[in-house]
Structure 1
Amino acid sequence: MQNKALLVDDVANVLDSFRRNLRGQVAFDVADSGKAALGLMAENHYAVLVTDMTMPDMNGLSLLREVKRLYPDTVRIMLTGNGDQQTAIDAVNEGDVFRFLTKPCSVVELKRVIEAGFHQHSLIMAEKGLLNQTVRGIVSVLAEVLELVNPQAAAHNVQLKMYMLQLARELKLKQSWMLEPVAELSQLGTIVLPGVLADQYETSKLTAAENDLIEQHASLASDLLEKIPRFEAVARNIRYQDKCFNGEGVPADDVKGADIPFGARMLKVVNDFIRARESGLSTVDALRRLETDARWYDGKILSAFTRMLLRKSDLMSVPVSSIEPGMVLSEKIATNAGKQLAREGQVVTTTLKQILTVCIQSGALSPALMIGVYLEDNGDAGNVEDIAV
């Protein structure tokens, strides 16, 4: 994709000069106000923004601040007739500008700076791509370690990730790279639990000492993850995943309500629901349990989660031979002889798919058997709120 610049100035003659002198040399659009510039940026991708300082309604500094917040990857350049030191300091400190140019500025110099901005944008995007690959690699390795050490916790995470992605969509959350690491690594602290205790985790009655150890798993995971660059917010969300909205729970501190990270509030709802389902409750009864303890949860998140689960449009019936990994069973699967192969609410894994295939091939299971399933939702999120809040 060709790099493109957006040039902003409220003086018509200046914009005309841009059009005459830069046409055919760089790709660019022009805007005569900060509001118009933001409108264009909402619909187009710009590698570079060049803005005048003195403009009515929204000056250049206010525009730079807003672009930094909304489009941080866009390289910001200030072009102004106001060359005083304080303007330059404010532009650098508040707008994080790449270059500061004073009028009059030659076409040659402006073109040179815009092209330097294009190069800087390419470096930013390359670094961002490398960091994203690194993050995905780290998450994948840690998730595999968890699966090897504590398969039960890893299976819990499969459901957790699916519900978290669906819930983010229901809440119209701003798309964030942190959502999947928060879900996939939330149970990482269980790798330090003794083998027997790990098998008992959330399924059997624990002694007081065992329960204390279980309660530390979120803090242990957080302590590990906060040592990784860029994972500080991920670690904080995981640390507070068992914290109740009213301040009860762990960690035992004064954090409560909206001060609990948003992702942690999501984890609290989803984890408690999964645990209720694992205890044998139906979906409806599990939701009733959460409603009974509503003081523990963010009301907005709990309402969205309930609404999401009770919506029937995502439910479909498919032949058991067509079931694929990622689907969630709305009913149990049993062989022709009545032996249960999978329970209601179970997420279909590659292993389960292989078991079903073997049973079909051996005649123990009819390939035409119709099973109700929910499809895993991997849709993009909207643009309302970020889980890092």
Structure 2
Amino acid sequence: MMKMLLVDESKKVFPTIQSLFEKEFDISRLEPELLKEKMSAKDEAPDFILFVSMGNIPDTYLKMKEMRQCWPKTVTILILPTICSQKELGNTVIPVHRIIFKPCSKQLVMMAVEDFSALLSDSLEPRQDEMILCCLLEFIGANMPLLYVSYNRVMPLIMNLCKKVGYDWRPVKKVFALYLLMLSRLDEEMLNGMMSGEKRSPSLLKKIYEHIAKMVDLLRMDEATQDIADDLKYVLKKFDGSGFPSDDVKGMDIPASSRIIRLLFDYHHLLQQGKSTGEALFVLDQRSKWYDDVLLHAFIDILGDAGKNRIRTVYPLGLTTGMEIAEDVYGVIDSKKRKILSCGEILTEETIDYLQRHSEDILDITEPIKISDALL
């Protein structure tokens, strides 16, 4: 049974964590003020640490950094009940495997633990080359936060997607790790352009491919690494054959590892732009012929309801029939607040006509209305 350590500055979470994971983990609780003593004791490292932080960002950053240095192999999940998004962290990149922002739901915590539990369970006896790659990425990531964030977000997704479609995840993990190591050799401007969520121009992608191609040529010189060379070569290739390199390879002739990494890395890039899960998958779904449909649909499926719908806002004049309301809509009628539309309601012509005629007078609806768009 794997060991889980909970450090809870809120002093409220332990009963919930225990009820969620007591059948799968040996759970222990540590008072925050005893953390330094625990680390200095050099006891056996836990498999998981759940840290609930109520402090300021600089203090939290230092605590997480010390924990990672003490227990480098431990999966660290940081729960921030008082912070709503990555934007509130500013330029601070906290060195943990996953951050859960407010609202910190049970479902988000369970998904985070499940992602990394699977990764740990299948990695109990890693091969030496895999261990070296992981250590290199941990070392490089300490000085390249954008690369570190990408590694920790995409690696669990690789495992879950591969299991969903019946692929061996280990070769894909190795290709992705090598791909990130190659990107780490880019200059700072190119690396930021590739990893930060900024728009990636064709000229930038061409330069990155040329950089990768040099390593591909070296890997091709040894029979043991020829297959990996092909996988790396086609990471920037789209399913329809466009992209890099400019050759005739397309569709299922593109290696599976390349197709998986292209999809998941593009998803990561969209999240870096500030898009939600649903918004990011909506964009991927609209990019006709960029991705393997089987992989894309499986990926949407494993992300659950959050990945199957995109939430957007529309003012009353932009409403059309068939739209689904994403949350209850209230208006003011005769000085009293009343529900006008219910979450999940499908708009009809009559409803839209009524809203458009009265949105600014009788109803007093001054905000746009949230609409849910199904991706598939």
TM-score by length of structure 1 reads: 0.42
TM-score by length of structure 2 reads: 0.43
Question: Larger Cα Rg: Structure 1 or Structure 2?
Answer: 1
The structure where strand makes up a greater share of residues is: 2
Q: Which of 1 and 2 has higher RCO (CA within 8 Å, sep 6+)? A: 1
